[in-house]
Structure 1
Amino acid sequence: MNVVTNANEVFLQAVRVHGGAPGPIARGAAMMHLAMHDAVVAIVPGHDPYLPGLTASGTENVQAAVRHAAHGVLGHLYPAQQDIFDAVLATVENSIPATAAQLAGRALGDASAAAMIAHRTNDGSADNTPYVANMRPGSWRPAPGATAATPNWGNVTPFSLGGLSPAAWRATFRPPLPAGATNVPDLLRSAAYADQFNEVKSLGRDNSGTRSPDQTEIAHFWANDLDGTSKPPGQLFAMTKTVAVDAALSVPRTARLFALVAVAMADAAVVAWDSKYNTELDLWRPDNAIQQAFLDDNKDTEADPYWLPLSVTYGGARFSPPFPAYVSGHATFSAAHGRMMANYFGTDTRTFTVTTEDPFAIGTPRQYTSFSAAAVENARSRVYLGVHYQWDADMGNTAGTQVADHAFANLLN
């Protein structure tokens, strides 16, 4: 087994236990995988590190360095699970002689983790300023008794600045208003909005008569919204592992692949949440829009106070994720992931199988022949699930692709 993919499995299990919104998960994964990558390239030069300053003689044990880099970041991210991380590490290391190379590798990994933790201190991820919803037509508002999830995540410092200021970086990737609109009232009155509204109203309803069985399966297959799963980034990391194993990548190549993918998804979260919360369009979800269509001033939309999405909790309650619709996080994550995979391997064409942890999927793996095909289906699935409009998917796909290209051009070369 590859030490990098092993560490990723430990991370995903920590996510299943801890739960939470996808932004912090993606940030944590980027921190861990970049720390592992930097430990590897300090010992086996070949690509630029993410952070400068880590030095090594080249005699350190790479496996030990990777294990300790992951262990250090994991304990920082999920301190309540420290005993689990310690036990996992001890299970491996208790059977390995503590040679000079092993001890030096462990120290190097610890140093890489500490450097990454220090680097990401004060990156905006701890900002818990509450979201204040406005009640204008078209604006998202939390469900009764719920709160907005990570409303300030669009202000987190990106990993792939590439010489840009954080503000300039966000402006570079921020999606415009959809359908060429210049303001929200005009958008709601447009024929384009009515088309988007009526499509998800038909396809995304809990008991839809127009959604096919395969579309229903696609909706659940890519969802992974519920705590207890490894969430959307986790499903994409599982896909990354499948492809890496099939390609028989070495530890250094695996470390670079996972670091690049992790950065792309972490920065995709910043782009998506910036669009969701930091622009004039905090777009309401389809359930809000359809139940309150009498507010949108559009003659081609009709309210249905009983409309509910296909998306469902363990207890059977229908729900939408607790943040605005535009753009889709799933679409932005999957596009960033797919494009980074294509950039790394030099081709979009690859045959691979994807699995799911969503409890409402039938569990049958799905096969794809390109990274972009999987990303497009992932994005489209959110319409079938009843929680997004197609333009959320389309513009998220564009933004995620651009973020991945930027990160690939600027990091770990």
Structure 2
Amino acid sequence: MPVRRLTAALLTAALMLALTAVPAHAGGPTLVVRWNQAMLTAVRTGTLGPPLVARALAIVHTCAYDAWAAYDAVAVGTRLGGSLRRPAAERTQANKAEAISYAAHLAAADLYPAQRATFDALMADLGYDPAAPASQAAQTGLAACRAVLDQRHADGSNQLGGYADTTGYAPANAPVVVSEPLTTLAQPGRWAPLTYRNAAGALVTPPFLAPHWGQVASFGGSARALADAVPAPVPYGSAGWQTQAAEIVALTAALDDRQKAIAEYWADGPASETPPGHWCLFAQQVSARDRHGLDQDVKLFFALTNAVMDAGIASWEVKRDHDTGRPITAIRDLYRGSTVPTWGGRSVDGASWVPYQPSTFPTPPFAEYVSGHSTFSAASAEVLKRFTGTDAFGGQAVVAAGSSKVEPWVTPAQDVTLRWRTYSEAADQAGLSRRYGGIHFKAGDLQGRALGRAVGEAAWNRATAYWTGRG
């Protein structure tokens, strides 16, 4: 069974390490898994945030799928349909592998140009030269990928403009300095930037991450419509607003070691594979567990990564629509001047309350409602459940004693093993982890899960239409 083992000696990397791979079958990880691993390496060393990472993963695996489809008797590509289909005599595993690799390399280098050496090294290890794509398979893979890149360069993400906002978003509130008690907040129900010192010791005030992301073209075609159907959050000043804040205060004050371990295991913050990549790690485990071949993994990662891309689009659309404040500002505003209990057995002035998060990344820089973690995870679980034909997972992770980044060397007091019987159970825990961490309110979590399930179903239906030739 796969286990993520964290030790105190690796404290600085705790909870951001890749899950230890399940021992693979005799052939080792498939070519698709190897490209996914290379992408996750780039993600961890890059600077893209979760929805941007989800899109990058989807583009690479869509290019791989479209290249593969040219060597399948039925499947059609997402951009060029069946126009690239090669004769039956050419539909060999070797040609599929070569076409996929040239396509994946082109896409990966386009998305993470600073990490090109990683992708070049994998090509060399596979026996391919990206500078000499002379074969028919290489040309087919490149043609398939170029069509995808042409479409995605104009998909609303503004990749070619460095992903800069295209909507003119401006926060309703001035930055809140985390290390100082809150005194005033112009619009307490709205999102506020936070000022704090990051892991490098620099004083930073991150802007809202990709406020234009709801405009990105979705794979399933319905991400925006599904987002617009999400119920509105409780309004500022209502009884519901006060209740959800009180719930987080009480929940975080009563955290036990297992709950703290859950909050940190699923955090997937800076320098990690991020939530979309976390579910790719689970898919790698499924590939090894179920002894997948190349064809299976092309389809699995194609469906999964496009589901997480659409999850990012849909959840960011909701975030931008409502622009809701995070618990850190809502609680400070509601409880300033009052003493409140908090994690670690302490009591603080409500104006200084902080969530159970590392001080170097106290809260992600975007609106609260809905939870991206919940949406990414529920969408991923939906695809994995449908692809494997069962919700059974059987995954686990071990969070080692003392490995906490919030309470280093102290928490947890003993190793904590997290187990998930099903993909759905893992997704639910991912969503709940954000409430334990003081990052999201209950409704943001639960509505994110519901949105993710709907997004995952739509992406699955579109993916299966492509590989069954219905396009």
- TM-score band, normalised by the shorter chain? 0.7 to 0.9
Q: Given the alignment of the two structures, is residue 123 of structure 1 paired with residue 155 of structure 2, yes or no?
A: yes
**Contact 2:363–2:439 (Cα < 8 Å) also in 1:** yes
Shift of 1:10: 0.3
Work out the CA distance in 2 between the residues paired with 1:211 and 1:93. Answer: 51
Query: Is 1:156 aligned with 2:216?
Result: yes
Deviations 1:227-286 (A, max 9, x none): x21111111100011012111112111110111000110000011100001x2x211111
Q: Which amino acid aligns with 1:211?
A: L
1:176: which partner in 2? 231
Matched, 1:311 2:348: no
Specify which of 238, 252, 262 is matched with residue 189 of structure 1.
Answer: 238
Contact 1:310–1:318 at 8 Å: present in 2 too? no
- Structure 1 359/171 Cα, relative in aligned 2: closer, same or farther at 3 Å? same
Residue 354 (structure 1) shift = 5.1
Q: Give the superposition deviation at 1:46.
A: 4.3
1:139 maps to 2:194: no
1:91 matches 2:125: yes
What amino acid maps onto 1:202 in structure 2?
A
Find the aligned partners of 1:303 and 1:283 in 2 and give their Cα distance: 23
TM-score normalised to the size of structure 1? 0.86
> Residue 299 of structure 1 corresponds to which residue in structure 2?
none
1:140 Cα offset (Å): 0.7
Structure 1 counterpart SS, 2:194: coil
Q: Which residue of 2 aligns with 1:288?
A: 329
The answer (yes or no) to whether the contact 2:258–2:416 under 8 Å persists in 1 is: no
Q: Deviations over 1:144-172 (max 9, x none)?
A: 333111111111111111xx6xxxx5133
Structure 1 residues 4, 365: closer, same or farther in 2, change over 3 A? Answer: farther
Q: TM-score, normalised by structure 2?
A: 0.75
Partners of 1:39 and 1:66 within 8 A in 2:
yes
Count residues with an aligned counterpart: 380
Secondary structure, counterpart of 2:304 in structure 1? helix
Q: Give the whole-Å Cα distance in 2 for the aligned partners of 1:247 and 1:239.
A: 12
3-state SS, counterpart of residue 292 of structure 1: helix
- Corresponding position of 1:40: 68
CA RMSD of aligned residues (A): 2.6
> Could you say which structure has the higher helix fraction?
1
In 2, the alpha carbon distance for the partners of 1:39 and 1:355 equals 38
Q: What is the CA-CA distance between 1:377 and the residue it aligns to?
A: 0.4
The separation in 1 between residues aligned to 2:288 and 2:68, in whole angstroms, is 18
SS in 2 for 1:334: helix
The amino acid that maps onto 2:32 is: V
Percent identity (aligned): 28
For residues 447 and 280 of structure 2, the distance between their equivalents in structure 1, rounded to whole angstroms, comes to 22
8 Å CA contact 2:331, 2:350 repeated in 1: yes
**For residue 345 of structure 1, what is the aligned residue in structure 2?**
388
- The CA deviation string for residues 173-229 of structure 1, in whole angstroms up to 9 with x for no partner, is 331113xx5xx34xx312x3333211211223xxx3x10110000000000112x21
Q: Distance in 1 between matches of 2:308 and 2:146?
A: 22
Structure 1 position 369 matched with structure 2 position 421: yes
Residues 195-344 of structure 1 aligned to structure 2 (within 5 Å): 195-204=243-252, 208=253, 210-226=254-270, 228-277=271-320, 279=321, 281-293=322-334, 304-312=350-358, 316-317=359-360, 319-344=362-387
CA distance in 1, matches of 2:30, 2:388: 19
In the alignment, what sits opposite 2:180? none
Amino acid in the other structure paired with 1:189: S
Partner of 1:64: 98
Residues 222 and 356 in structure 1, CA contact (< 8 A), matched pair in contact too: no
- The structural deviation recorded for 1:365 is 6.1
The one-letter code sitting in structure 2 at the alignment partner of 1:21 is: G
Displacement, 1:303?
Answer: 7.4
Label 1:22 to 1:293 Cα distance change in 2 as closer, same or farther (>3 A). Answer: same
| 1:50 CA displacement | 2.2
Change (3 A) 1:137 1:33: same
